[in-house]
Amino acid sequence: MREAHAEDARSEAKRLILDLLGEERPTAGTLLNEARTVLGRERTRRAAELARGAPLTRRSAELAAIAALFVGTGELGPGWWTVSRGGTLPPPEEVLVKAASLDPWTDLTVLEMLAAWISDDVADAIWGPPVGTADLNSWQAEDRVPLPPDARAGNRLVVAFDAGGRLDAVVVTRKDDDLGSNLDFSSLRYSRPAEAQWSWGVAAGLGPHPLPDENPDPYADPVDPTPSTILRDWALHHGATLDHVGPPWETRGDVTAAVERVDWMWRSAEWFAWWRAVSALIDAEPDQLARRIDDMTR
């Protein structure tokens, strides 16, 4: 069942990425070449440098954010980069140059923050500003957002639930004749930049994602054979096949490719501990790696 869901997600992601970017198997090189035609050479260069500086396990997410910026800029135009947000936040161009996330987005990287901004801005341009935000970790439908003063029964109000994600709240009359609202979960939708970000990440996977003219190639860096053997053997003993893990891991690229084939997220919960250890191996964090392997082998 999990494998079927994983394949469904990948198929949908490939369909979306083909529609949005014109490619079914995205690579960093093709993405950056396409982005350059819309973002311009300098913005694309800065974005690529931020992706280059991220840990290898985060590179796919950074490239996915660039996909969102590419699609979003195509929707809103290059002027989006030079306009201050709400009069209080700096223009996206300045954020990209300074390479520093802002409150309350400090849990995101700069590229992820900019991708969230442009996903929301495209959503607002299409569906109008939301009247409120709903956390869809709760599926309660009733009265999740405040009603505007001019609300009338039958009105459909736009509600945000994620960057670029929107759904409608339908205004209804309650038994006491007061107005309330019910979320219409069938109206869930995402702006095109948000779709591009998700679909690029799923279709492209963890990698390897070498960047154009990247020298030295971080994926060619050797890994310590002792922990790599422990983690490879663990995967084989817990359901992965030789086709999944491949030959003995010698480089960070070997490990990255194996993790992508193993598809650990769709396996049992114990694989999360394996992922934390193997990600430390990929990101060359020896102290973290030792702790994670110790946790696994207790």
The confidence score (pLDDT) of residue 177 equals 84
Q: Is 262 exposed, middle or buried (0-12, 13-18, 19+ CB in 10 A)?
A: buried
Q: Which region, left, alpha or beta, applies to residue 86 given φ > 0 means left and ψ of -120 to 50 means alpha? A: left
Domain for residue 46, yes or no? Answer: yes
Please, which residues bridge with residue 166 across strands? Answer: 160, 189
Domain for residue 57, yes or no? Answer: yes
Domain for residue 213, yes or no? Answer: no
Residues 64 and 185 in one domain: no
Residues 145 and 198 in one domain: no
Domain for residue 212, yes or no? Answer: no
Domain for residue 164, yes or no? Answer: yes
Domain for residue 210, yes or no? Answer: no
Query: How many structural domains is the chain composed of?
Result: 3
CA separation, residue 96 to residues 105, 122, 146, 206 (Å): 14, 19, 35, 24
Residue 240: give the domain boundaries.
218-297
Residues 54 and 200 in one domain: yes
The confidence score (pLDDT) of residue 4 equals 47
**Structure pTM?**
0.93
Q: Report whether 115 contacts 69 (CB < 8 A).
A: yes
Domain for residue 143, yes or no? Answer: yes
Residues 9 and 43 in one domain: yes
Supply 286's token pair: 């020896």
Domain for residue 231, yes or no? Answer: yes
Residues 236 and 281 in one domain: yes
Mean pLDDT value of segment 221-245: 97
Residues 72 and 197 in one domain: yes
Residues 181 and 166 in one domain: yes
- Per-residue pLDDT tens digits for 191-220: 999 999 999 999 899 999 999 999 999 999
Residues 65 and 197 in one domain: yes
- Per-residue pLDDT tens digits for 261-273: 999 998 999 999 9
Residues 224 and 256 in one domain: yes
Residues 91 and 107 in one domain: yes
Of the residues 204, 230, 261, the one at which a domain ends: 204
Of the residues 173, 204, 235, the one at which a domain ends: 204
The confidence score (pLDDT) of residue 266 equals 87
The confidence score (pLDDT) of residue 194 equals 96
Q: What is the CA radius of gyration of the chain?
A: 22
Residues 163 and 197 in one domain: no
- Per-residue pLDDT tens digits for 99-143: 988 988 999 999 999 999 999 999 999 999 999 999 999 889 999
Residues 121 and 155 in one domain: no
Q: Report whether 260 contacts 205 (CB < 8 A).
A: yes
Is the pLDDT at 165 greater than 50, yes or no?
A: yes
Of the residues 177, 204, 231, the one at which a domain ends: 204
In single-letter form, the type of residue at position 68 comes to A
DSSP 141-165: -BS-SPPPTT--TT-EEEEEEETTE
